Amino acid sequence: MSSQRPGFSFLVCPDGQMLREQLARLLTQHLPAVGEWERHVYWGDEAPPPSFWEHITLHGLFPSSRAVLVRQAQLWPADVWKKISRILSSPSEHVWPQFCLEMPWDKGQPKIPAHLIRLPCMIFADRQGWVWKQGGLTEYSLKKYVQQRARALSLRMEPEALEALCSCVPPDAQAIENELIKLAFLRNAVLEQGSSTDPESFSISPSMIATGSWTAEGNIFSGLKQIQAGNLVGVWKEFSRSSDDGLLFALAGLLARECRMLWQLLAGEKVRMPPSGQAEKRRLAENLGPQYLAEIMSTLVDVEWKVKSGRYSTLQGLECLLERATAVFSRP
């Protein structure tokens, strides 16, 4: 173990995304002597299970290097913390406990519960410099943070685009990350369709910023038309305007209904729809055929399951659905 690696860490920040970024930095800065960190995550809104105590105390004959993370750790009661403090009095070479205190701040200071402030482990960690504090983003620090995250995502932004983004997004790291990811997808879609041939010189323009979720809500029916046209750039321009968390399931429901209708047309069944659109829908059904229609329906089921089971965030599910569905419709 490196002498610089903390025996245990406290991370005090109300912003979950900034916590995740700092945790990633710590684990990268202090790699174990052998292999990688074996990560275990627990949450303070539940009593610590037996596995938690095992992970921070027990060592086998060939112990692995374990990073034991507790989110919302301030929610655990005083008796739990007294037991933890006794264990932390003898830090382990192979275990790195990391406790996230995610309470709000007041007048520039975190509102840490009194029973935590008085703990010997907290006092010792503070003296050793093992406590990381970050009050979250403010209107003054937001621009610098946006620039840092844009560089991390290899996004070049025109000055006017940067100012437009900073003036519209809330001081929330996850919201900023979501918008930058959308812009990265939009940039990639533009490059893939040949609108620009030099990725290194491509910059986000103010007109692309205007597609962000702070503008008028995206039109789900217009977006569906873009999907069926196989136009990924148009898809992202349409759906990135929506900040509605229910967009994924609304789109999934509409797309499922559309697939059922196309399947019925393909099977020669009668479908109630305006006569003016029947010929176009029938051509679309014939172009896709049963194989590609089944692929879209399988994607719908897969994305819904991954979001509801927690494997995907809602944004990740939306991105997956849009890309995979558009790719199917764009096939000749």
In angstroms, the CA 129 to CA 114 distance is 20
Distance from C-alpha of 15 to C-alpha of 145, rounded to nearest angstrom:
13
Residues 60-95: b if buried by 16+ CB within 10 A, e if exposed: eeeeebbbbbbbbbbbbeeeebeebbebbeebbeeb
Supply the CATH classification number for the domain 9-133: 3.40.50.300
Say if strands 109-110 and 105-106 run parallel, antiparallel, or are unpaired.
antiparallel
Q: List the chain domain ranges.
A: 9-133, 137-215, 219-332
Question: Does this chain's domain 9-133 share its CATH topology with 137-215?
Answer: no
- Assigned CATH for 137-215: 1.10.8
CA distance 217 to 80: 46
Q: How far apart are CA 109 and CA 123, in angstroms?
A: 16
**pLDDT truncated to tens, each residue of the chain (332 aa)?**
445 899 999 999 998 889 999 999 999 999 988 888 999 999 998 899 999 999 998 766 667 889 999 999 999 999 999 999 999 999 888 899 999 999 888 888 999 999 999 999 999 999 999 999 999 988 889 999 999 999 998 899 998 889 888 877 778 888 888 888 888 888 877 777 665 556 667 888 887 775 444 333 445 566 777 787 777 777 776 665 555 556 777 778 878 888 888 898 888 888 776 666 677 888 888 888 899 889 989 999 999 898 888 888 777 788 888 888 888 887 65
Tokens of residue 116, six digits: 């935590």
**pTM, 2 dp:** 0.61
Q: Among 197, 264, 258, 176, which Cα is nearest to 225's? A: 258
Through-space distance between the first and last CA atoms of the chain, rounded to whole angstroms: 57
Domain 219-332 has CATH 1.20.272: yes
- Written as six digits, the tokens of 140 are 């003054």
| Of the candidates 180, 182, 174, the residue with the CA atom closest to the CA atom of residue 19 | 174
